[in-house]
């Protein structure tokens, strides 16, 4: 998500939110939408709590686009573990209310935040009685774009407010108290919750600076956070892409059957392989064009056309994210490469999705 953008972008967002800087967003509003009417109602992918078996559950939020994230619940003997909260307090409260049938006798004692995006942690205060666990990098990154900033952007007058409301107008950021982790780890942490073994494995930086996957071995289940977008295009704010590919390889080598992505419907190893194929394709093709002297924007436009003609990931939503992903490849290849600010990055994604050649 955009709030995991390179840290040089964050000061500008703060200035825009405070009304200290104007921004021209051009044609982004027609492209961006939080219209919940388009949410999928197809069988198997509906909003709410889904039982996966062996005490594992997934809370899904179609259509899985910007801000509509998934969460998870692992129920043990008298205690439960929650994987992520949602983007605002009403959404998180609704989720927790639906989970009461399980948490009444097995209260949530541990909350794991898979990464620092607000749609995976802004509801933390409603589980404040639990131990909140995240990677060190996630804990550091979580404070960079607080809910108050998004509330200010949503409330801003004029074009800036219109823009951010078109992305996030469905979400209520006022009154959220950012609630950080109370326990942090690096690389790996094994937990015991209600007699169940749960493995936390840090696989970032990839999507963000500190991505974590949550593995429940006895249920052959993994909760991936935003290491997986199913039906939507992955966005690599942090990178390098090779780390994300390695995370996919790690999961493909596990004894797992059920995969809960950060966005989109439930999947299996086939979904992991598709995301891996996309990332490998982007890294390979962007590297070749970088080495040939093409700039990042021209590369993104070429790859957008190529992706659109493919049968595998050509139908995924938010395909304009290729603009951000190419920038990340170029930064990985050349540390002196300067990535455009967040306004220009969103403008480029909008142009690609609108089919504009500019």
Residue 150 lies in a domain: yes
Query: Which residues does residue 199 pair with via DSSP β-bridges, in sequence order?
Result: 190, 215
CA 240 to chain centre: 16
Task: For residues 289-301, give the mean pLDDT.
Answer: 98
pLDDT tens digits for 18-73? 556 555 444 333 333 333 322 333 568 999 999 999 999 999 999 999 899 999 99
Which residue range(s) make up the domain with 133?
2-277
Query: Which residues does residue 232 pair with via DSSP β-bridges, in sequence order?
Result: 317
pLDDT tens digits for 68-122? 999 999 999 999 999 999 999 999 999 999 999 999 999 999 999 999 999 999 9
Residue 314 lies in a domain: no
Residue 68 lies in a domain: yes
Residue 355 lies in a domain: no
Q: Is 191 helix (H, G, I), strand (E, B) or coil?
A: strand
Q: How many domains does the chain have?
A: 1
**Domain with 236 in it: what CATH number?**
3.60.15.10
Residue 353 lies in a domain: no
Q: How much is the pLDDT for 121?
A: 98
Residue 303 lies in a domain: no
User: CA–CA separation, 82 vs 84, rounded Å?
Assistant: 6
Half-sphere exposure of 58 (CA within 13 A, CB side): 29
Q: Name every residue whose Cβ is closer than 8 Å to that of residue 358 and which is 6 or more positions away in sequence.
A: 351
Q: How does strand 221-223 pair with strand 258-260?
A: parallel
Residue 346 lies in a domain: no
pLDDT tens digits for 337-351? 999 987 687 778 878
Q: What is the pTM of this model?
A: 0.89
Whether the CA torsion 46, 349, 314, 221 is positive or negative: it is negative
Residue 306 lies in a domain: no
């Amino acid at each position: 998500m955009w709030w995991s953008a390179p840290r040089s972008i964050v000061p500008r967002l703060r200035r825009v939110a405070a009304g200290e800087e104007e921004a021209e967003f051009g044609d982004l509003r027609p492209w961006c939408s939080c219209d919940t009417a388009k949410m999928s109602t197809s069988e198997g992918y509906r909003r709410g709590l889904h039982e996966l078996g062996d005490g594992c559950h997934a809370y899904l939020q179609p259509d899985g686009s910007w801000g509509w994230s998934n969460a998870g619940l692992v129920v043990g003997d008298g205690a439960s573990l929650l994987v992520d909260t949602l983007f605002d307090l009403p959404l998180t409260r609704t989720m927790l209310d639906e989970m009461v049938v399980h948490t009444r006798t097995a209260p949530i004692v541990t909350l794991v935040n898979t990464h620092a995006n607000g749609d995976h942690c802004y509801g933390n205060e409603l589980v404040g009685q639990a131990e909140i666990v995240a990677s060190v990098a996630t804990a550091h990154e979580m404070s960079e774009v607080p809910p108050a900033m998004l509330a200010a952007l949503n409330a801003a007058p004029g074009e800036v407010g219109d823009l951010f409301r078109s992305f996030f107008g469905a979400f209520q950021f006022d009154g959220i108290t950012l609630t950080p982790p109370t326990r942090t780890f690096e690389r790996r942490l094994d937990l015991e919750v209600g007699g169940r073994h749960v493995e936390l494995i840090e696989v970032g930086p990839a999507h963000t600076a500190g991505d974590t996957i949550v593995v429940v071995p006895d249920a052959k289940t993994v909760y991936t956070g935003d290491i997986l977008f199913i039906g939507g295009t992955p966005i690599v704010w942090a990178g390098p892409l090779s780390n994300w590919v390695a995370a996919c390889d790690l999961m493909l080598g596990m004894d797992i059957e059920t995969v809960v992505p950060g966005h989109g419907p439930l999947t299996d190893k086939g979904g992991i392989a598709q995301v891996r194929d996309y990332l490998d394709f982007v890294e390979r093709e962007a590297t070749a064009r970088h080495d040939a002297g093409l700039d990042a924007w021209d590369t993104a436009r070429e790859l957008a056309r190529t992706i659109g003609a493919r049968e595998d990931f050509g139908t995924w939503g938010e395909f304009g994210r290729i603009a951000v992903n190419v920038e990340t490849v170029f930064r990985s290849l050349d540390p002196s490469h300067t990535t455009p600010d967040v306004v220009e990055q969103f403008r480029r994604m909008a142009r690609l999705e609108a089919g504009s050649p500019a």
